[in-house]
Amino acid sequence: MGSKLQNTQLGTSPLGYALGAEIEGLDISLNLGSQIYEAINHIWQEHHVVVFRGKHLQPRDIVFFAEGFGDLDDHASTPFYRHPDVPQLLQITNRLIDGKPSETRNTGRNWHSDYSYTGRPAAASLLYCNQCPPVGGDTMFANMVRAYESLSGTMKGIVDNLHAVYDVSLTAGINERDASKTAEVRRLNPPIAHPAVRVHPRSGKRALYVSERVSHFHGMTRAESKPLIEFLCCHATQPENVYRHNWREGDLVCWDNRTVMHIALADFDQNQPRHMLRATILGEDSGFVVRDE
Ligand SMILES: O=C(O)CCC(=O)C(=O)O
Ligand SMILES: [Fe+2]
């Protein structure tokens, strides 16, 4: 495999010091074959976020490309907000939908890893920009492998032994959505504990898995947990550890939810349309439901 991989050279340029790389000159609407996927995975594991620019993808092209990385999440944990014709895609937009402002217009406004509040947190997400405002609407990504590695040995030992409890209610803006939909999302996703350090199944790298959607650590009170959650989030999101993506139409940004957390910024004029489509790759089974804690 090694020699075949070396033959599959993809043009790559780093976008950030901590993470992020662009892969150039690849027509991702074609049937790419396993060697190319292997080469992309290789770059992805090293840089955590890979970006393809200047693409003109139809919704079905995004699904087709994404399926090469693994099984797609059917988004059953949030059974709304789909693309009308291609239900494998989530539609994240501030456009009017059925004459009303879309409920996804403020998706992702606190630091998180996708679907951490489910029993099968996302392995990866691929987000395509169909339309974006002339300025702003950026997305930031933090490298959680570096975040883990730069902790002291003692703190690593502490987080290695913790389970973080994820609560969908801590999704920023959830209370501004339709109350019946929010109630359904809460019913489908009771609080769930996952190891606070996630081990990447391919690279074996250890990554901090704590975000602003963690209510507490299993077996600890909320008061005890709060300063540690705050410290770990601040530590992870220091500017040196972050790549900020400034979107252009036709960008496909792919992030590894096992090694990265992200936040979508409200730094734009909401009268300007922003329209994004997301495919999500299923991760491994993880975690246990936590009641009455
Ligand atoms: O709209 C964005 O930039 C990202 C929103 C988000 O958190 C996601 O798609 O997972
Ligand atoms: Fe997200």
Which CATH class, in words, describes the domain spanning 2-289? alpha beta
Q: What is the pLDDT of residue 98?
A: 85
Cα–chain center distance at 64: 19
By percentage, how much of the chain surpasses pLDDT 70? 98
pTM of the model: 0.95
d(C-alpha 186, C-alpha 164), whole Å: 18
Pocket of ligand 1 (CB under 6 A): 92, 107-108, 114, 125, 127, 139, 262, 264, 276, 278
Q: What is the pLDDT of residue 72?
A: 98
Q: What is the pLDDT of residue 176?
A: 87
Q: Candidates 78, 81, 127, 243: which one to mutate for ligand 1, based on the most atoms within 8 Å of Cβ?
A: 127
Domain-wise residue ranges, the chain: 2-289
* pLDDT tens column, 38-71: 999 999 999 999 999 999 999 999 999 999 999 9
Q: What is the pLDDT of residue 186?
A: 95
* pLDDT tens column, 246-280: 999 999 999 999 999 999 999 999 999 999 999 99
Q: How far is the CA of 139 from the centre of ligand 1 (A)?
A: 7
Q: What is the pLDDT of residue 193?
A: 98
Strand ranges (E), the chain? 11-14, 21-24, 49-52, 90-93, 96-97, 100-101, 124-131, 139-143, 163-166, 192-195, 197-199, 206-208, 214-217, 242-245, 252-256, 260-264, 275-281, 288-289
Q: What is the pLDDT of residue 2?
A: 40
Q: Which residues of the chain have pLDDT under 50?
A: 1-6
Q: What is the pLDDT of residue 162?
A: 98
- For the chain, the average pLDDT equals 95
Q: What is the pLDDT of residue 3?
A: 40
* Atom 2, ligand 1: residue with shortest CA distance: 264
